[in-house]
């Protein structure tokens, strides 16, 4: 599965396609047994995005400091990655406290 990723300030500008590792695809097809543990949920996907997109790697922020959104709706950390469809635009947002 591939998704479109867009970041918002103050994060570094990112507007790119991202290939979601196979573990998340297994979840989306209901094969939970073979899924990589780190990609069972949205929190794992946040980490995969931080590690897989060079512009986000130098960030000192943790995945807990960030949220992912689709169509203006937050993707909860505990939610399965099955809520994301191939080609969805996922917006990466910094949480301001």
Overall pTM surpassing 0.85 (yes/no): no
What domains appear along the chain, each with residue ranges and CATH number?
A: 2-94 (3.10.20.90)
Each residue's pLDDT, cut to its tens digit, for the chain (97 residues) gives 899 999 988 888 999 999 987 655 444 443 333 344 468 899 999 988 888 888 887 667 788 888 999 999 999 999 999 999 999 999 998 776 5
Q: Looking at residue 38, what is its pLDDT?
A: 63
Q: Judging by DSSP bridges, how do beta strands 2-7 and 89-94 pair with one another?
A: parallel
Query: What's the number of CA atoms in the CB half-sphere (13 Å) around residue 22?
Result: 2
């Amino acid at each position: 599965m591939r998704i479109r990723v867009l970041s918002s300030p103050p994060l570094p500008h990112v507007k790119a396609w991202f290939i979601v590792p196979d573990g998340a695809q297994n979840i989306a097809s209901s094969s939970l047994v073979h899924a990589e543990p780190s990609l069972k949920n949205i929190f794992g996907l946040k980490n995969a995005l931080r590690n897989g997109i060079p512009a986000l790697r130098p960030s000192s922020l943790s995945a807990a400091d960030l949220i992912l959104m689709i169509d203006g709706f937050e993707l909860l950390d505990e939610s399965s990655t099955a809520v994301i469809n191939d080609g969805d635009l996922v917006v990466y947002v910094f949480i301001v406290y």
